[in-house]
A and B are shown apart, each in its own frame.
Chain A
Amino acid sequence: MSEYVIETAKGKWEVIVGLEIHCQIISKSKIFSGASTEFGDNPNENVSFVDAGMPGMLPTLNRWCVHQAVKTGLGLNAKINKYSEFSRKNYFYADLPSGYQITQFRYPIVGEGKIRIDLPDGSNKDIGIERMHIEQDAGKSIHDLSPTKSYIDLNRAGVGLMEIVTKPDFRAPEEAGAFLRKLRSILRYLETCDGNMDEGSMRCDVNVSVRPYGSNELRTRCEMKNVNSVKFVMQAIENEAKRHVEVYENGGDIIQETRQFDPTTGQTKVMRKKEFAHDYRYFPEPDLPPLVLDDAYIESIKQEMVELPDAKKTRFINELGLTAYDASVICENKEVADFFEKASAGHDAKKVANWLIGDFFAMLNKRKLSIKESPVSAENLGNLVELISKSVISGKIAKDVFEIMSETGDSPEKIVEEKGLRQVTDVSAIEAIVDKIIAENPDNVAAYKKGKTNLAGWFVGQTMKMSQGKANPAMVNELVKQKLDK
């Protein structure tokens, strides 16, 4: 990819970015209690005594959350640590009932890994994963319901999170965007996190610093908390980097601080200065023994790994002949990829891909439907392509058939039969039409013969029109030429 450089009158600057992503674990119950994780229930409906930090309550680890974390670690091509420990991160806040968050500090469950991102120009880059640990989410404070009171909803308190920390490998906003899309895609493939940034089930903290272009130094970074869309993450990086450059070029210094990204202005503002940074007083959680995994356990999870987007993409390119672009569009979403595989089975995969990315997506967009709700089934889409391949209908007629399919959900075969759209390939039938048009338009025939050869197209068009589009276009072309040149 072309380099991302901030260029001013005074110089060139490079951007350094690292991300920390909190991903809510898909699990029925919370990570340290049996309460439900259902999103959108009434406030404080899903709160156990443990979640509320009642006296004498103890956490017990939800095994499923461990399973999900290991699966995710494998999906990040990362090292699974057979020994990990829980720690307490101590701070006071009204939506943190125990006064500490149970997290992992010195010994996370997942170590170093990497993710390959796909950049808009078709190139790739590997982004390093520093670590991933599991922890509990806090509750929610609601400050805008009353001028004098804050309300606390503990439904989210104790929901399991995976915190993925990347290496500072990003050099452009687009890289961070591509990473988040790829990560979301992997998590959804694995079904370990639903990746919905707008619902907060995937939240991103962005660390940004800049340095003079070509240098190797690492300058002070600022962290932006909870940036909640891919677009905002890219915007936050761009604007924060510009701010740094401006400060440096005006002779100032960047102070390490936590900043907040404002989606309405696109700018960042100070949230917490370093001197007010919490001292979290981490120490090993005495209520939970260390988490020790054995090889057999990790192996059993490896066995249930699904094919991930990169592997699928490679297969689609190599085995089905898709272009890199089509393959990556199709593989980003597992449901789309599954739909595609079903649709293309036994048919021309490249054509199916074209239809899927073109007319099919346009239809879903227009109707505001998810792929699950599509009136056109995968089998029917495949069959439609098959009808074109076998010259039963023309590509043009196929568009009409597809329109009807998306209205009725009917199979293309049924529509073609009922509407009599089957392509005419009977030479004598087409010949009769061509003859008729030649006979009725002697002037045009004469003009053609005098050298206006592009009138051939007009004869083809007339023939197609008279056949209601059903005549095989190749045959029409050939017959028209033959007859006119006679």
Chain B
Amino acid sequence: MKDITKLTVAQALSGLKKKEFSATELTEAYIDNIEQNTKVNAFVTKSFEIAKQQASEADKRYASGNSLPLDGIPLGIKDLFCTKNIRTTACSKILGEFIPPYESTVTNNLLQDGAVFLGKLNMDEFAMGGSNETSCFGPVVNPWSKDKDLVPGGSSGGSAAAVSAHLCAASTGTDTGGSIREPAAFCGCTGIKPTYGRCSRYGIIAFASSLDQAGPIAQDVRDCAVLLKSMAGFDAKDSTSYDTPVPDYESFLEQDINGMVVGIPKEYRLDGMNKEIVAYWDKAAEILKSGGAKVKEISLPHTKYALAAYYVLAPAEASSNLARYDGIRFGNRKNGNSLDELYINTRTEGFGNEVKRRIMIGTYVLSAGYYDAYYLKAQKVRRLIHDDFMNAFKECDVILTPTSPITAFPIGDEKMLQNPINMYLNDVFTVSVNLAGLPALSLPIGLSAEGLPYGMQIIGKPFDEQTIFKAAYKLEQDTGFERI
């Protein structure tokens, strides 16, 4: 029998329906993979017993002919999603052995559709990082690593690596500045960050509330469409979720892209940009053109301010969102002789350096006397970036850009570690999308000379994920990217 863990979600669903294998068999196959491939370090909490239980229930439903949309599909869940009765840590020491008594809306939606949860996936601590190196559980190793161990990207590094190494059929991620798309690109996966408000944030540990969105990381475009359909939807428990029907994304995949206008933002052509990525970018545009799309240069004039604005706004919100980790009600506590000492001891020990750095930046930019110069200014830039996109979308349907200016780099890379700005620069193509609240998908476009995947990003209009899926599907079909 062929390796059923190599199947896409859509293929596995079809196999399950045809009774080619059972959900229990599929789940156990993934459990085997996870136990054999420990090097990737993708799973930080394994919930195999729960998974087997869920799989057996799925099998019962298949037997009775009442199967659910994702019945028996084994998923990995980023450790930022609160999962009822399963330890949730955000890969931070400060949460310790925290076991939520509640389920996030997104994971609940997946459970309602019959998904099986294999466990919780490694990530940068509190989703802060672009390499999965800030996790308290240690770095994730990119399955594409050759001689040196490479990072999987971040913050959803475990989510991308687990999919890439076939440790789960697909996974959930979250994206605040590129945390789904960058690791998807580095690991040769496909991931979509939907429009802000498309997925509920209820039960997802907050990093930067106005930017955070959940989305799937999967092997291909179709799987992303299938999973997003299940994850998305209005939720009264999240006041920023949007009350509009979720389309059947899968039904758009094979639609013609003839006449679609694809925008290429000239500001994204950075000086001294890697020639390989430029070539792939041109190739992607050609493929879309061959499908009947028109390719057009557009302008997003405030692009150069995006990173700076992002690294003011995201830490500002984070500094406030992380105040609740104080050792009083849950997670780890380190006592002191006074309340202030308890806070200082708990947070000094509980948070890693990158999280501390962002709390400090965020606290600073919100401080009296600095608020106007930093936070308020950044909010104004954010508005301008949003307006840039809205203007651009008057003349195009989707925007095509690379996902990241580079491919996966080695774990412990000197250049990245000596100056956090170098790490932040990897987000240059992704953060604008979060600032504008737009949907964007990353899919693999090809390999570098060293054999590492490059990702291409397709940005869409608000709540127009379906057009992104159409374009992405066409690109995927004609790219012929070969997964591991």
A49 partner residues in chain B, CB cutoff 8 A: 101-102
B236 contacts A286, CB within 8 Å?
A: no
| Nearest chain A residue, comparing its CB with the CB of B236 | A60
CA distance A98 to B321 in the complex (A): 8
* B344 CB to nearest chain A CB (Å): 10
One of B361-369, B383-391, B467-475 contacting the partner: B361-369
Interchain residue pairs A-B with the least CB separation, the first 5:
A99-B323, A281-B366, A286-B209, A286-B210, A53-B324
Residues A287 and B95 in contact in the complex (CB < 8 Å), given A53-B329, A54-B100, A281-B366: no
A61 contacts B366, CB within 8 Å?
A: no
| Nearest chain A residue, comparing its CB with the CB of B210 | A286
| Nearest chain A residue, comparing its CB with the CB of B329 | A52
Interface flag for B37 (CB, 8 Å): no
Binary B-proximity of A257-268 (CB < 8 A = 1, otherwise 0): 000000000000
A94 contacts B328, CB within 8 Å?
A: yes
B102 partner residues in chain A, CB cutoff 8 A: 49, 54, 56
* A-B contacts, CB under 8 A, total: 101
Most buried by B among A49, A54, A55: A55
* A331 CB to nearest chain B CB (Å): 41
A90 contacts B323, CB within 8 Å?
A: yes
Interface flag for B203 (CB, 8 Å): yes
B330 partner residues in chain A, CB cutoff 8 A: 54-55
B229 partner residues in chain A, CB cutoff 8 A: none
B240 partner residues in chain A, CB cutoff 8 A: 286-289
Identify the A interface with B (CB < 8 A).
49, 52-61, 88, 90, 92-94, 97-100, 150, 152, 279, 281-283, 286-289
- B339 touches which one: A60, A88, A94, A100 (CB < 8 A)? A94
B210 partner residues in chain A, CB cutoff 8 A: 286
| Nearest chain B residue, comparing its CB with the CB of A50 | B237
B317 partner residues in chain A, CB cutoff 8 A: 283, 286
Most buried by A among B326, B339, B343: B326
Residues A90 and B320 in contact in the complex (CB < 8 Å), given A54-B330, A56-B204, A283-B375: yes
B206 partner residues in chain A, CB cutoff 8 A: 55-56, 287
Q: Which residues of B in the span 166-185 have a Cβ within 8 Å of any Cβ on A?
A: none
A90 partner residues in chain B, CB cutoff 8 A: 319-320, 323, 366
A279 contacts B237, CB within 8 Å?
A: no
A59 contacts B367, CB within 8 Å?
A: no
- A55 touches which one: B100, B343, B363 (CB < 8 A)? B100
The interface size bin for chain B is 35 or more
Q: Which residues of B in the span 359-381 have a Cβ within 8 Å of any Cβ on A?
A: 363, 366-368, 371, 375
B322 partner residues in chain A, CB cutoff 8 A: 99
Q: A56-B82, A90-B366 are in contact. List 13 more A-B contacts (CB 8 A).
A: A53-B324, A54-B329, A55-B100, A55-B206, A56-B104, A56-B206, A58-B201, A58-B239, A90-B323, A152-B328, A281-B320, A281-B367, A283-B320
B201 partner residues in chain A, CB cutoff 8 A: 56, 58
B155 partner residues in chain A, CB cutoff 8 A: none
A283 partner residues in chain B, CB cutoff 8 A: 316-317, 320, 366, 371, 375
A286 partner residues in chain B, CB cutoff 8 A: 208-210, 240, 317
- B239 touches which one: A61, A92, A281, A282 (CB < 8 A)? A61
Most buried by B among A53, A54, A88: A54
A97 partner residues in chain B, CB cutoff 8 A: 324, 328-329
B204 partner residues in chain A, CB cutoff 8 A: 56
* A91 CB to nearest chain B CB (Å): 9
Binary A-proximity of B244-285 (CB < 8 A = 1, otherwise 0): 000000000000000000000000000000000000000000
| Nearest chain A residue, comparing its CB with the CB of B98 | A55
B203 partner residues in chain A, CB cutoff 8 A: 56-57
B339 partner residues in chain A, CB cutoff 8 A: 93-94, 150
B316 partner residues in chain A, CB cutoff 8 A: 283
Residues A287 and B209 in contact in the complex (CB < 8 Å), given A56-B82, A90-B320: yes
Q: List 10 A-B contacts (CB under 8 A).
A: A49-B102, A54-B324, A54-B329, A55-B100, A56-B82, A90-B319, A286-B208, A286-B317, A287-B209, A289-B240
* B312 CB to nearest chain A CB (Å): 11
Residues A55 and B320 in contact in the complex (CB < 8 Å), given A279-B368, A281-B366, A283-B375: no
| Nearest chain A residue, comparing its CB with the CB of B322 | A99
B209 partner residues in chain A, CB cutoff 8 A: 286-287
B366 contacts A55, CB within 8 Å?
A: no
A88 partner residues in chain B, CB cutoff 8 A: 320
B205 contacts A56, CB within 8 Å?
A: yes
- B324 touches which one: A60, A98, A150 (CB < 8 A)? A98
Most buried by A among B100, B240, B328, B366: B328
CA distance A90 to B362 in the complex (A): 12
B371 partner residues in chain A, CB cutoff 8 A: 281-283
Interface flag for B398 (CB, 8 Å): no
- B323 touches which one: A59, A98, A288 (CB < 8 A)? A98
* B420 CB to nearest chain A CB (Å): 22
Residues A99 and B320 in contact in the complex (CB < 8 Å), given A55-B98, A279-B367, A287-B239: yes
Residues A58 and B320 in contact in the complex (CB < 8 Å), given A49-B102, A279-B368, A283-B375: no
B202 partner residues in chain A, CB cutoff 8 A: 56-58
Interface flag for B238 (CB, 8 Å): yes
Residues A281 and B363 in contact in the complex (CB < 8 Å), given A55-B98, A92-B323, A98-B324: yes
* A79 CB to nearest chain B CB (Å): 25
| Nearest chain B residue, comparing its CB with the CB of A281 | B366
Interface flag for B88 (CB, 8 Å): yes
* A26 CB to nearest chain B CB (Å): 23
Interface flag for B90 (CB, 8 Å): yes
| Nearest chain B residue, comparing its CB with the CB of A34 | B237
Q: Which residues of B in the span 302-319 have a Cβ within 8 Å of any Cβ on A?
A: 316-317, 319
CA distance A59 to B343 in the complex (A): 24
A61 partner residues in chain B, CB cutoff 8 A: 239
CA distance A69 to B95 in the complex (A): 38
Most buried by A among B81, B104, B203: B203
Most buried by A among B98, B101, B202, B323: B323
A60 contacts B328, CB within 8 Å?
A: no
CA distance A90 to B322 in the complex (A): 11
Most buried by B among A60, A61, A283, A287: A283
A58 partner residues in chain B, CB cutoff 8 A: 201-202, 237-239
CA distance A435 to B201 in the complex (A): 97
Binary A-proximity of B179-223 (CB < 8 A = 1, otherwise 0): 000000000000000000000011111101110000000000000
| Nearest chain A residue, comparing its CB with the CB of B363 | A281
* A20 CB to nearest chain B CB (Å): 20
- B88 touches which one: A55, A57, A282 (CB < 8 A)? A55
B329 partner residues in chain A, CB cutoff 8 A: 52-54, 97
CA distance A282 to B100 in the complex (A): 29
B237 contacts A60, CB within 8 Å?
A: yes
B81 partner residues in chain A, CB cutoff 8 A: 56
Binary A-proximity of B87-127 (CB < 8 A = 1, otherwise 0): 01010000100101110100000000000000000000000
CA distance A97 to B98 in the complex (A): 16
A55 contacts B90, CB within 8 Å?
A: yes
CA distance A92 to B328 in the complex (A): 11
* B247 CB to nearest chain A CB (Å): 23
CA distance A251 to B324 in the complex (A): 46
* B129 CB to nearest chain A CB (Å): 18
CA distance A289 to B330 in the complex (A): 28
CA distance A92 to B327 in the complex (A): 12
* B414 CB to nearest chain A CB (Å): 34
B328 partner residues in chain A, CB cutoff 8 A: 94, 97, 152
* A129 CB to nearest chain B CB (Å): 26
